[in-house]
Amino acid sequence: MRPSPYIDGQPLEVDLPLHVTEVSGANDRGPTFVMLHGFGGSSYTWRSWVERLTPLGRVLCVDYKGFGAAPKPADDRYAPEDQANLILELMDRLRLERVTLIGHSLGGSIALLACQALAGHPNSPAERLVMIASPVYRQRVPPLVSLSKRPLLSHALVRTVGPRRLVRSILRSVVHDDCVVSEAQVSAYARPLRSREGLEGALRAGRHLLPSNLAHVGERIRDVTIPTLLMWGVGDHVVPGWVGERLAAELPDGHLVIVPRCGHIPPEERPGASFDLLETFLERTAG
């Protein structure tokens, strides 16, 4: 497996349509952190958090099917349940234990589905869950996801506007302060869309989020009894704050924290402040 173009580390051969990068940690007795990015993202999302996570345990940054450096097969198995099953298979093949699943946006929904599947198992490897601005209940669908239902129009738009300009516009629309959007960030997220395979992978994933809009993820919420951190930017207009509030009310051990002056991507918009909140949760729930 080739090294990730998005984050430094050791690529792992897993024989799955995933790209997994292990970032060396100083604590081989600590937990394993499995990091899942959001829709249209990649392991690049975690670049600011990884350095502070590695002293605490093993860090695995996953580009899941269709995104980043992961394979993008031409099949119909891109639904969140399909992605969650791949994460469960990854955990089984690597024989992971003491896992903390950390997911941003769609990645958090996938992590929740994985934890629901493991709920009640006496030897479940999942110890903690972190959901960052993650869609769970029925809500307004972001325009980018709606557009994926019209692949011809999507291809024409990308050809006309160009991946960089499109990504720059999307990023600026989801953050609190568009000054935080850098050209390096734009390049990283535009890179997969430069190929037809990369664009098709993103469109397939988007089509399979509809029409249910992930409402099915909200089923069996109360089965997830492990400690769960819910992190939301105060100005998130993609996944509104009421989603985090409802999750905090329904999860048996859910804890909601709010990141000030922040939109939809706390690990990138406010990396220091958001990681401090994560670290407090990890310290409080350490075994």
| Any domain includes 3 | no
**Model confidence band, residue 287 (pLDDT cutoffs 50, 70, 90):** confident
| Any domain includes 191 | yes
For residue range 187-220, list pLDDT tens digits in order. Answer: 999 999 888 898 888 888 888 875 555 556 777 8
Residue 2's CB is within 10 A of a number of other CB atoms, namely 7
Instruction: Tell me the pTM.
Output: 0.94
| Any domain includes 47 | yes
| Any domain includes 39 | yes
| Any domain includes 2 | no
For residue range 36-70, list pLDDT tens digits in order. Answer: 999 999 999 999 999 999 999 999 999 999 999 99
What average pLDDT is seen over the chain? 91
Domain boundaries, position 150: 10-284
| Any domain includes 93 | yes
The CATH number covering residue 267 comes to 3.40.50.1820
| Any domain includes 270 | yes
| Any domain includes 5 | no
- Measured CA to CA in angstroms, residue 99 lies from 15, 87, 110, 130 at distances of 20, 12, 15, 11
* Number of structural domains the chain divides into: 1
For residue range 88-124, list pLDDT tens digits in order. Answer: 999 999 999 999 999 999 999 999 999 999 998 889 9
